[in-house]
Amino acid sequence: MAKVLMKGNEALAEGAIRAGCKLFFGYPITPQSEIPEYLSRRLPEVGGCYLQAESEVAASNMLYGAAGVGERVFTSSSSPGISLMAEGLSYIAGAQLPVVVLNMVRGGPGLGGILPAQSDYLQATKGLGHGDFRLLVLAPSTVQEAADLIVDAFDLADKYRNPVMILGDGMLGQMMEPVEFKDRPKSKDLPPKTWAATGLVPGKKKSIINSLYLDPLELEANSWELKAKYDAMARDELRWEQFNCEGEYDVLIVAYGSMARICKTTIELLKKRGVSVGLFRPITVFPYPYKQLSDAAQKAKMVFCVEMSTGQMLDDVKIALEGSRPIHFYGRTGGIVPSPEEVLRQVERIRNGEEVDKVWER
């Protein structure tokens, strides 16, 4: 199929349809409203259902129900809306159901703003809701990657019976790039959904969708079952990209999503000045490629973490490096997106032994 020019939001919505998703429940919010808009038109065309809920809380419980009967289901929101869905997603994780949820992050906390940010990283990767659960979180950096990853997200959700999140930001949602939808064969090795509550079949065990376990031993067993899934994800699902890491480099930049592609331009600009800097970009941010980052960092004198937050992925960078390299951090937030030149000036400073310039304090 030929490449078409699409907004990130539209490409993700189309990608969900290509993944065989027929059901969307959600509520509009900037900067991702093109997704419900697109799906409200497209889903009826493929025999699916678009339903605008009365709130994000309701939408997340509609997801719970639809996932419980074994359908591929999808919701999309932005930061404040995701917080509202947190309760439902905890139930979904507890009941071990596959859903795909997308967060086009905007500045926070509270209602915050509508411009791009990466300030929901900790929420997405460490603690979206109550209880011992995690989402598998994928962080695309281009529109093409977003369109590809959302198809994988549905497969991964089914494979692990666990919610999978696409973590983007307003910039990825609003920008247009060429995108090609590849015809992929349906994944054959996914387990049949024997657990789905699709009605009583004689001879079949009763299917109960539930996250309530009053017996502490049963609840503990469920939690360890979840933990085993997360361990399997950390073993089998890690994804990352290394850019300009073939040769020597003094500094290794660590960034994800939109911020990472901006840093690529910084690296190209530095190349022209004869300075070689590498980039490590985690694509799965839960599970996190700790060892791969640590290995890449051993070639560098120092590591430079750049985010559109006050320092959230920074925690994972520290865990990965275990104190083996000095770590510098630069973050802009509130909707401000650092330019490649802005990052470049900071790289020059830390290479000269200076601290980063805290321009936000001026």
Binding site for another protein (CB under 8 A): 3, 5, 30-31, 114-115, 170-171, 174-178, 261-268, 335, 337-342
How far apart are CB 332 and another protein at their closest, in Å?
11
Smallest distance from the beta carbon of 31 to another protein, in angstroms?
6
Q: Which two tokens stand for residue 175?
A: 């920008």
Query: Within the chain, how many helices (H) and strands (E) appear?
Result: 12, 14
Nearer to another protein, 154 or 256 (CB): 256
Helices (H), the chain: 8-18, 34-45, 56-68, 79-94, 121-125, 143-160, 170-174, 216-236, 257-272, 290-297, 314-321, 340-351
Question: Mind spelling out the 3-state secondary structure of 107-154?
Answer: CCCCCCCCCECCCCHHHHHCCCCCCCCCCEEECCCCHHHHHHHHHHHH
Nearer Cβ to another protein (164/262): 262
Choose between 66 and 171: whose C-beta lies nearer to another protein: 171
**Distance from C-alpha of 142 to C-alpha of 120, rounded to nearest angstrom:** 19
Q: To the nearest whole angstrom, how small is the minimum distance from the Cβ of residue 8 to another protein? A: 10
Nearest to 331 by CA among 303, 295, 360: 360
Instruction: Provide, rounded to whole angstroms, the least separation between the CB of residue 335 and another protein.
Output: 8
Q: b or e along 193-203 (b: 16 or more beta carbons within 10 Å of the residue's beta carbon)?
A: bebeeeeeeee
Q: DSSP 3-state assignment of 21?
A: coil
User: Cβ of residue 130: shortest distance to another protein, in angstroms?
Assistant: 34
Cβ 256 to another protein shortest distance, Å: 14
Is residue 244 helix, strand or coil?
A: coil
**Which residue's CB is nearer to another protein, number 30 or number 40?**
30
Q: For residue 269, with 0-12 CB atoms within 10 Å meaning exposed, 13-18 middle and 19 or more buried, which class applies?
A: middle
Instruction: Return d(Cα 297, Cα 317) in angstroms, integer.
Output: 10
**Of 132 and 342, which CB lies nearer to another protein in the complex structure?**
342
| CA neighbours closer than 13 Å in the CB half-sphere of residue 78 | 31
Work out how close the CB of 296 gets to another protein at its nearest, in angstroms, rounded to a whole number: 19
Residue closer to another protein (CB basis): 225 or 341: 341
Give the nearer residue to another protein in terms of CB position, either 145 or 155. 145
Cβ contact 320:297 at 8 Å: yes
**Residue nearer to another protein on the CB measure, 236 or 357:** 357
Tell the smallest beta-carbon distance from residue 339 to another protein (Å): 4
